[in-house]
Structures are given as C-alpha cells and as structure tokens.
Structure 1
C-alpha cells in the first residue's frame, strides 16, 4: 500500500535505520543521503519518509512532500558548495528512465560539468 513502509524496500529500510547510509540531512518528511555509487562529486539522494513507488505517485498523493524534497535539494546544494556553480535535480520515474529502487527519490548532482542532454 502506498505510503506504508514496504518490507522489501531498501529506502524504507534506510528511513527505519535498518540499513546504514551516510545521512546529510533529515526533516520530518525527508531523508537525504550520499549515493553509494556517486556520478558526481555531489550526489545525494533525497527520499520521502513515506513509501511511494515513484515521483508521479508521490506527487499525486502528497504534493507537499514533493515540495519538501525540492526545498531540501537547494539546502543540500548549498551545504555541499554547489548552489552557486550549479547543480542538477533528477527524478527517474520507471525502469525505462533508469529507476532501480522503486521508492520515489530525487538525485542532487553537482561539483563537475554536467552535459545536456544526459545519457
């Protein structure tokens, strides 16, 4: 059920403290942690504490949490020193877009040149 923690979800386990992560920020609705396979010097994932399989489902059910995630992205960028030089925020939605963990999450990438369009 959307919104409820999923026993087999890696990100739900991170929220619950069952799987370790390098957490850089946490709010009442979000957790931000370093990606274990970073694609840039700054590569932080920001997830909602509630489980929704992707960004579209999260936006439909809890748009305020999407806003919370985006606000946290700016704070992560500022704390990592990439706010002024530029950073990218990415929601991959669906396996065809590269989503591999089906718990909505936003990537914050920065600290190197980011070409457009991405791969």
Structure 2
C-alpha cells in the first residue's frame, strides 16, 4: 500500500522471511534485539490475518526467538505484543507483532508484565 512504512521495507532490512511474512529489528527498540514480525500483505490488525498468515508469523517469531537467544545469553524471557487500534497505541496501521527480549534486572520489578500498560494494574 502506498505510503505504508511496512509495505516498502527493503530486503536488506529483513532479517528473515517466508512467503507470507518477514522479521526486522525495531527502529525504536525497547530492549536490545527487539524485533517485529510483519505480514507481507497489507492488513491493519492482527485479527484480520488469515490462518496461513498467523502460522507464517508464528514461525518467524520462533526463528527470531532462537536467533536472539543464540546472540545474547543474558536473555531469560520475552514479551510478545500487538497494538490494535490507536487507543491501544498502534501508530503504524499495518499489523506487526513485537518480540521483546527480557533480561534479569532490565526493570526493577517485572511482575505483572504487560499489565503495566495500565498504571497501577501491574502489581496484583
């Protein structure tokens, strides 16, 4: 789609790809090796993906997880996330899945994980 940042990603930026999706490192990483898995078809959100696209994206999430673990032995966990809609923080309206490596001590207290999106809801 004309004007879409993810529809015109150059091949040299793609870390790995299959017939329906590709992975690249995030331009504004939350942690080192933070990457995105992106369907090749222009689709606005995760819930519009076909079953085949979901499987293709999942395959690349697994590949990038293995790549990250082999590159950095301090990684002990991951957050996987998708923002759907502007009220959820989506800024590029082409579906993309974040894979964020986590390391012990990268935040003071990780308990609650993604619940921290809503202030005061992370600790329960």
TM norm structure 1: 0.79
| 1:85 equivalent in alignment to 2:83 | no
Q: Offset at 1:111?
A: 3.5
Q: Where does the alignment leave 5 or more consecutive residues of structure 2 unmatched? A: 118-124
Q: Distance in 2 between matches of 1:38 and 1:104?
A: 17
Q: Residues 7 and 53 from structure 1, CA distance in 2 versus in 1: closer, same or farther, beyond 3 angstroms? A: same
Larger Rg belongs to: 2
Provide the alpha-carbon RMSD of the alignment.
2.1
Q: Where does the alignment leave 5 or more consecutive residues of structure 1 unmatched? A: 1-5
* Greater than 4 Å deviation, 4+ residue runs: none
Higher relative contact order (CA 8 A, sep 6+): 1
SS in 2 for 1:109: strand
SS in 2 for 1:11: coil
| 1:104 equivalent in alignment to 2:92 | no
